[in-house]
Amino acid sequence: MRSSLVMSLIGATSMALALLVGCGDDDVKPTTVTSKAGQSCTKTADCDPGLSCIGNVCYKTAPPPNGGGAGDTSVTPPDPPALGGEGESCSSRLDCAEPLGCFNNRCTASASGEGGASGSPVPQLGTRGESCRVNGDCTKELVCVPSVATATGVCDLADFGIEPTGLTCTGECTQAEDCCQLPIGQHTADIKSCQDIADALTTLAVDCTAPAVGTPSRLCFLQATYCDCDDDTWSCDEETHACVYGVDCVVASGADVPTGCPSLSRLGRPVPACNADSKTCIGPTVAAGCTNDNSCKGKQVFDSTAGDLCTTGECTCYAGNKQCYRKCARDIDCGVGTAAGMPPLVCDTKTTKLCVPDAKCVTDDQCAIANHNLAFKCNEGTCAQSCESDRECSPSGLGNNAFTGMVCGANKFCASVAQDCNEDTQCAPVTAGGLKPFCVATPAVAGTPVASSITN
């Protein structure tokens, strides 16, 4: 028994030594098992050399379109996708044919810019209205505008080549002579021109130095006012380009008769009635005008409802309307705006010495928050949309995106050109059959409203 046990131990030891020798580093390791044609896979590396993994099955070629059996390896594969050549658009290298890469959204051999490598053919770029993915797809003066209808954009203009002129067809005159024209509102069935007036006066044998009341008196007034004007009959306001009647008047005379005021100016604007104080056609309740601060002494404070009169040094003559207002020295001298939505008043200590509305904006963030758009900034007290190109202000009109008449002005804020003109010939009558206005600098909208100080 003892000898048998010893022999067993010796045999086990020999077998263990043999196994240790067999596991040495020089032994050949097992190879990776790959799938053959028709067998399953998750990637091409799972298949035998020469096979491709298509639809989780190893194939020599693509499977048939009708879903043929996995063992069918003789079907012709589908055409590969068309890849971009030199200079064509791309989103990544996968869009380009070998050995091209995708640089600046164009297939090219190197990152040499939009034109491709040196000596490469120049790509055909899109013209206005053609589809695009990046600006580089469009000709130089165009940009790729994103489209909400498709995944691609459209080549279109960035700048429209329109500059705001600052001129509009709003002028009644550019010089005094323009005002000497019979308004359409003064026409009758028989009187439509100055020649008609002259003929009627001759027919009626009217002496205009002492005309009879009624038609003769009116005809004489029309002739003197709109036909035989002298240097003092009308003047043209330099700021508003409106006709101003300059002949002295008598309150009792009325309108459209000698020594009275005309009822209409050239374009049909109503002319104010005679003022008893100034003896001019400025309106019956308007205070007498001023020429300088000193001339305000004893005159009524223009915006006073209590009939206050200016004392020495108390008032200033406002250039905007030649009227006297009580001066201010600091903001607390001013009240609040009376018009709906009007901001508080502050004292304009630098220019007018009068109370004016506080600026609507002071900082850009006010405008951005109020308009929910960072493009809106404070432009001289008013929130306006800033811009770098015309397209930021309006579509160009391509397709259904109508041009709104807005362009990017020289001050880099959006401006309207809808009413712009360049010359008088572009100005049509405001009403059918009316007289033509003049192309003039756009007048200020009544200017900045001013008010007197509330202190005495």
Q: What is the mean pLDDT of each run of 10 residues along the chain (456 residues)?
A: 43 44 46 76 81 78 52 51 78 74 69 47 75 85 83 88 93 96 95 97 96 96 96 91 95 94 96 90 80 91 86 91 92 75 80 85 90 93 93 91 94 94 93 92 69 84
* Confidence (pLDDT) at 286: 73
* Confidence (pLDDT) at 114: 45
* Confidence (pLDDT) at 75: 47
Nearest to 274 by CA among 296, 233, 246, 236: 246
The two most distant CA atoms of the chain are separated, in Å, by: 173
The C-alpha torsion from 90 through 93 and 94 to 98, rounded to 10°, is 110
Helices (DSSP H) in 158-205: which residue ranges? 194-204
* Confidence (pLDDT) at 31: 54
* Confidence (pLDDT) at 84: 82
* Confidence (pLDDT) at 339: 53
* Confidence (pLDDT) at 23: 44
* Confidence (pLDDT) at 444: 58
pLDDT per position as a tens digit, 239-255: 889 999 999 999 999 99
For residue 456, what are its two tokens? 């005495």
* Confidence (pLDDT) at 385: 96
Interatomic CA distance for residues 196 and 223, integer angstroms: 10
Domains in the chain, please, with CATH?
Answer: 125-158 (4.10.40), 293-441 (no CATH)
pLDDT per position as a tens digit, 104-132: 667 777 644 444 445 555 567 788 888 78
* Confidence (pLDDT) at 4: 45
* Confidence (pLDDT) at 47: 85
- Sorted by sequence, the CB contacts under 8 Å of residue 165 that are 6+ apart come out as 417, 420, 421, 422
Nearest to 449 by CA among 279, 297, 309, 335: 335
Interatomic CA distance for residues 31 and 120, integer angstroms: 48
